Structure 1
Amino acid sequence: MYAAGRRTRAGRGDGINARAAAGSAADAGVLFLQSDSSQGPEPPRFTVDLSQPPEHRYDHVARRLAGRISSADLAGLFSELVGALAPPLLARSLHLFARIVLRRVYSSEETRELRGISAAAGVPVYLLVAFNVLLDLLLGCTSGGVRVEAADARAQGGSRPSSLSSSRMLHFRTLDWGMDPLRKMVVELDFVRRQGGPVVATSVTYFGYVGVLTGVRRGLSMSLNFRARHDRSTRRRRLAFRLHQAMVVLGLRRSISSVLRGYLLRPEAERGVDAGEASVDKEQPAAGRADGPGGQQEEGVMGRILTQLRTLPSSAAYLIFCTPQRVYSVEKDHCAASIRESDTFLTTYNHDVSDEQDPSDLPRAAHQEVEHAIGMSELVAYSTERKRHVDALWRKKLDSRYRRLKRHAEAVGVRDVLGLVKDREVSNEETHYAVIMDPEQGTVLWRRVFEENHGDSG
């Protein structure tokens, strides 16, 4: 099913950060991830300096990606998207409407960034705005958190049992979509607060998308999945949901990916990131550990995030968060949220937990939400099958670990996580990119962009 792809690495040029992951690099499994070169190229990697005026933060990226931007043909993709969502006569009217009305997003800072990208890349502002307010409605994804053993625990073999203190959570994520030209636009962005300063957060995204689909900072990682369902129980709730969507498109409400950006680039979370700051104490537990001050702080932050999400007006989505010791999955509706959490293993796809009891209605829900848009109905329809498959893979890896180490395990190895992400049912022909993130260190451990038709062989 897979084609190996070109074994290339992102070049090192203007604005590209050559930072190597610290701390967890001592883990042999992490070194294995970083040396893995199979299945295609890494995305090009750039530094974004948040101290620069928003209009010029992405100038260097636009220069490097000029050819890719042109070949991606965003205008053609927008026409395809509108044509999938509306009848032909209405589609033409929507084009004119978009050119006139789509001038901004809710955040002034993000709007200024989009205008700067428009000027540097030669892409009309309305296309970038449409890209930012519609993309999170159309993403098929697999996201989850899985506990992995630390290097010292593996070195002990069977001499002592696995424990929470000797392991941590990793966050894995694949992003699936049918619009193949956008594969050329996948980038990895390292955010800094000043030129030459430490990286405070990293996002894997599409160039021109200023919200957050996949991101990590020290102590917290996050990803967003498309959700086909929302509360249709009353006419009032249906209208309120559609009104909210319209207000997001018009720049009068914040999109859910913009909300995630706020969580990722939270300045108060960055204290201690700079190695020169006195708040970093190497003798204290690693930032984010459940048994140390950082862990208590991050779980407290997650508590506040979850409290906000329970009532925050938004589009329907699945939100997945990982701290160093827990994974959280949020089924977000317009003004409500259902939350699950685990300290071992939890995955989220494109279906509700309730759909696992009766998945027969899921294709209809996807069809109602996005009609036949860009193959989303098919992605959602197979969502419960993906979950059963991945759950079985995880249990198999636990069993294999038990037979090898002769002890019960609640954590797997780092290589096991990579094998899970590379599985052909997880990274399939619709997958644009896949990542594995370490919320303890605030780094992306492994990332790949999948080329068109990569799933057609093997």
Structure 2
Amino acid sequence: MAFKDENNTMVAPIYIIDLSLEPENRYKALAQAYKSQLQGLTSLFNSLLSDIGLSRFYHGPVSLLARLLLRGLYSPAETAELRGIAKVSGVPMHLLVSFNVILDCLMGCTSGAVKVLEAGRPTGQSRMLHFRTLDWSMDPLRSIIVQLEFVRSRSATPGQIVARSVTYVGFTGILTGVREELSLSLNFRGVHNAARRRDHARFYLHHLLVLLGYRQSISSILRGYITPEDPEDDQCKSLQEISDELVPRHTTAAYLLFCDGVSAMVIEKDYETGVVRQSNTFIGVTNNDEEEFGCSNEATPFAAQVSAKTSGVRAGMEALIEESRDRLDAISLKWRACLRKARRKSKKEGKDPSQVERTLAITTDEVIEWVSAYPTTNEQTHFATVMDPVNGQVVWTRTYPEPAE
């Protein structure tokens, strides 16, 4: 349940998740605290079916099939976590499974990273902050937004927070997370690359296999980079290693943003390919593929683009993609305005204006101001956050229990 901080801003409550506990016990206390809210979400299953374009006529049969077939996730540990939540909350297992595998397919979001340097600090202390908003039309989910802090009580450093996530109660993957040297966020992608019917069939078969627990969801894959299940495999991976692993991997279509505090990387991910962009000054992504938006002049792709690309927009997605362009353009224009101002100043001082972007930075307060402004934050925004991957901190977060005006 969100509360107001000292600045009168609504923020998400913080809960500790102990990864050293047996998976079934990790989320029980959280589920108990949100038991009534979780029980109120059972009606959302039909809303999810409507959101993916299924006629109301089929809701009954689909619900019955879901009870029979949706028994767990690909990961045994995550399945056990959901069983613990179901046991405490009384929410049926098939609803929790569907929530976990469908949620990352339906969100509209803004993600980005920008170089920051606080006033009066030496340029050597600049770093990139990762910002993100999460937008969705399902207002009941606003009441179950939390910030999770993960610990390993049976490790050599039992009190150390190893990672943080801003998420929904009942969701065990990672949509927005940070640890030391890495932050990440996932945005919905409303198109996928398919030149033949066979390509479409493979893509949607993958979705079905994820739903049935035979393949790993994208949010579960991302969880492995932030809170790997094996504490012995806890070494943070570099952006290059992540790109090499993820680009060819079979996943749903998504926009992924990773930041290590020095540079940031966007992957426009398709089923088994991906277009990669990288920048150490500014980069952004919403829910469309257009490369000219949201990327600084220094952002250069280091993975091959699909040679023959045809994009099919899912039913009802045209308006979302148009609105996505507006959101990305709005925040990109703020960076470009700063860049133009800095170049004019550099020119007046007799310096080379072409070198300005390398050292250009804004303050943390400016990042928060950019993220909070319309249309980056809008009436469908559930929460906004700024993360610092250098030290693994959530710098700022704001929740919206009611639609923003």
User: What TM-score do you get using the length of structure 1 for normalisation?
Assistant: 0.77
1:328 corresponds in structure 2 to 265
Is residue 2:35 matched to residue 1:76?
Answer: no
CA shift, 1:403, in A, is 7.9
8 Å contact from structure 1 (residues 435, 446) kept in 2: yes
Counterpart AA for 2:394: V
Q: Report how far residue 378 of structure 1 moved.
A: 3.4
Cα deviation for residue 116 of structure 1 reads 0.3
1:387 to 309, 313, 328: 328
| Bigger Cα displacement from structure 2, 262-271 vs 380-389 | 262-271
Query: What is the one-letter code of the residue matched to 1:204?
Result: V
- Give, in whole Å, the separation in 2 of the partners of 1:7 and 1:225: 26
Alignment of 1:341-380 (within 5 A): 341-353=278-290, 368-369=313-314, 371-372=315-316, 377-380=318-321
Superposed, 1:37-436 pairs within 5 Å as 37-38=7-8, 40-70=9-39, 73-84=40-51, 85-149=53-117, 151=118, 154-155=119-120, 163=123, 165-194=124-153, 196-266=158-228, 267=231, 301-353=238-290, 368-369=313-314, 371-372=315-316, 377-399=318-340, 408=356, 409-436=359-386
How far off its partner does 1:100 sit?
1.0
1:318-346 CA distance string (max 9 Å, x none)? 00000110000001100111100000000
How far did residue 394 of structure 1 move?
1.6
What letter is aligned with 2:190?
A: A
Q: CA separation of 1:221/1:448 partners in 2, compared to 1, >3 Å: closer, same or farther?
A: same
Give the SS at the match of 2:382.
strand
Distance 2:137 2:113 in 1: 25
The code of the aligned residue for 1:175 comes to L
CA–CA distance in structure 1, aligned partners of residues 49 and 292 of structure 2:
29
Structure 1 contact 390–420 (Cα < 8 Å) conserved:
yes
Match of 1:106, SS state, is coil
Deviations along 1:177-215, whole A, 9 cap, x unmatched? 000000011111111111652000001110100000000
How far 1:42 moved relative to its partner? 0.8
Cα deviation, 1:273-312, whole Å, max 9, x if unaligned, reads xxxxxxxxxxxxxxxxxxxxxxxxx6x6221111111210
What amino acid is aligned across from residue 148 of structure 1 in structure 2? V
* Post-superposition offset of 1:268: 5.5
For 1:109 and 1:66, how far apart are their aligned partners in 2?
Answer: 21
Equivalent in the alignment of 2:305: none
Structure 1: tracts of 5 or more residues without a match: 1-5, 10-34, 157-161, 272-297, 357-364
Aligned position for 1:275: none
Q: Is the contact between residue 178 and residue 394 of structure 2 (CA under 8 Å) also seen in structure 1?
A: yes
Alpha-carbon spacing, 1:303–1:53, altered in 2? closer, same or farther (3 Å): same
Amino acid at match of 2:36: G
2:116/2:361 contact within 8 Å kept: yes
C-alpha distance in structure 2 between counterparts of 1:60 and 1:67, whole Å? 13
> What displacement does 1:269 show?
7.2
Q: Which amino acid aligns with 1:440?
A: V
1:402, distance to aligned residue in structure 2 (A): 7.1
1:58-82 CA distance string (max 9 Å, x none): 1111222223323xx2221111121
Identity %: 40
Task: Give how far 1:259 is off.
Answer: 0.4
Distance 2:99 2:318 in 1: 20
Matched AA of 1:439: P
Give the root-mean-square deviation of aligned CA atoms.
Answer: 2.5
Q: Deviations over 1:115-152 (max 9, x none)?
A: 00001111110000000010011010000010011x4x
Q: Say which structure is richer in strand.
A: 2
- Pick closer, same or farther for the CA change 1:170–1:268 going to 2, 3 Å: farther
CA distance in 2, matches of 1:301, 1:269: 14
Shift of 1:50: 0.6
Q: Does the aligned pair in 1 maintain the 2:25–2:84 contact within 8 Å? A: yes
Displacement after TM superposition at 1:352 (Å)? 0.3
Residue 354 of structure 1: CA displacement? 5.5
Instruction: Provide, for residues 423-442 of structure 1, a one-character-per-residue CA deviation record: whole Å limited to 9, x for no partner.
Output: 11111000000100000000
Moved more, 220-229 or 189-198: 189-198
Letter in 2 for 1:390: I
The SS at the match of 1:55 is helix
Residue 31 of structure 1: aligned partner: none
Which deviates the most, 386-395 or 109-118? 386-395
Matched AA of 2:47: E
Q: TM-score normalized by structure 2?
A: 0.86
Q: Distance in 1 between matches of 2:135 and 2:91?
A: 24
**Which is worse superposed, 300-309 or 423-432?**
300-309
Whether contact under 8 Å (2:70, 2:212) holds in the other structure is yes
Opposite residue 438 of structure 1, the aligned amino acid is D
Q: Quick check: 2:342–2:360 contact (8 Å CA) kept in 1?
A: no
Name the SS for the 1:144 alignment partner: strand
8 Å CA contact 2:31–2:170 kept in 1: the answer is no
Superposed displacement of residue 101, structure 1: 0.6
Output one character per residue of 1:214-267: Cα deviation in whole Å (capped at 9) or x when no partner: 000000000000001111211111111011010000000000000000011144
Runs of at least 5 residues in structure 2 that lack an aligned partner in the other structure: 294-310
Match of 2:70, as an amino acid? Answer: L
Whichever structure has more helix as a proportion of its residues is 1
